[in-house]
Every structure is written in C-alpha cells, then in structure tokens.
C-alpha cells in the first residue's frame, strides 16, 4: 500500500483491478483460470489489514449477516 493512501482507496483500486481482470477473462474465454484469483480477493485484502482493521471488518461482516438473517425471517413471516 502506498504511503499516505487509505485502506479504502487501496481496497477500491484492488476491487477495480480484479473486476477488470474478471471481464477480460470472460471476454477471452479464460474464466476458469481466473476463478481462483477472484476467490482469493478477500484473503488478499485481509492480509493487508492491521489487526484493528480486521476486527472492524469482522464486526461489520457479522452485523451485515445478522441484518440479512433478520430480513429473511421478516420476509418469511410476511408470506
């Protein structure tokens, strides 16, 4: 990560790079060779985070998962 750059900027750049590689792989019919790299994106990003940032990420992931779970329950009750 470049000095002075924020983690959000770096993550955005990485996401952009992987998205462009994904579309290029589809266009060139090389999708399967790219799948492994795409699946490792989360691991790559997490390896760059500090421990504090990892905890924040995990907390947001848990909160997001809980919200999604509660929304599914609410939708089932409505039906």
**Higher-confidence residue: 9 or 60?**
9
User: What whole-number distance in Å separates Cα of residue 37 and Cα of residue 27?
Assistant: 17
Kind and range of the H or E element at 28?
none
Q: CA-based angle 24:29:35, to the nearest 5?
A: 70
9-31: per-residue pLDDT in tens?
Answer: 888 888 888 788 777 776 766 65
Cα 77 to chain centroid, rounded = 30
Flag whether pLDDT at 62 surpasses 70.
no
């Amino acid at each position: 990560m470049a000095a002075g750059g924020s983690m959000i900027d770096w993550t955005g750049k990485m996401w952009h790079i992987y998205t462009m590689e994904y579309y290029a792989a589809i266009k060139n019919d090389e999708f399967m060779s790219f799948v492994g790299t795409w699946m490792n994106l989360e691991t790559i990003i997490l390896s760059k985070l500090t421990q504090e940032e990892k905890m924040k990420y995990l907390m947001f992931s848990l909160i997001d998962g809980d919200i999604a779970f509660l929304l599914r329950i609410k939708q089932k009750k409505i039906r």
